[in-house]
Amino acid sequence: MSRPPGAIPPPHPSGGVASGVGPNQGAGPPPGYVGSQQQAAMMKQMMAMEQEKRAQMHMMEQQKQQQLFREQRQQQQLLAEQVSSLA
């Protein structure tokens, strides 16, 4: 089938797939895939969040201890005042 110069070539026949070209060819990693660098970054972020959470828990525990010590000291002062008023 000859065509005149400058004419548009006919389209490829339908139904065929060119070799080496699949649905995911050149589209990057498949869906749901996490690359090792991305996974490392996520792990690093998760570790930082865990460390932050531990620091907050430690701070809360210290505040709780301080509050308990204050309450204990107040009770001791009240008892000391009660004992001295009895004497």
Could you give the number of structural domains in the chain?
A: 1
Is 77 inside any structural domain? yes
pLDDT in tens, 2-19: 656 666 666 655 555 555
Is 4 inside any structural domain? no
Is 17 inside any structural domain? no
Q: What is the pTM of this model?
A: 0.50
SS (H, E, C) the chain: CCCCCCCCCCCCCCCCCCCCCCCCCCCCCCCCCCCHHHHHHHHHHHHHHHHHHHHHHHHHHHHHHHHHHHHHHHHHHHHHHHHHHHC
Is 87 inside any structural domain? yes
Is 74 inside any structural domain? yes
pLDDT in tens, 18-70: 555 555 556 666 666 778 999 999 999 999 999 999 999 999 999 999 999 99
Is 26 inside any structural domain? no
- Confidence at residue 75, expressed as pLDDT on a 0 to 100 scale: 96
Is 52 inside any structural domain? no
Domain that holds residue 73: 58-87
Is 20 inside any structural domain? no
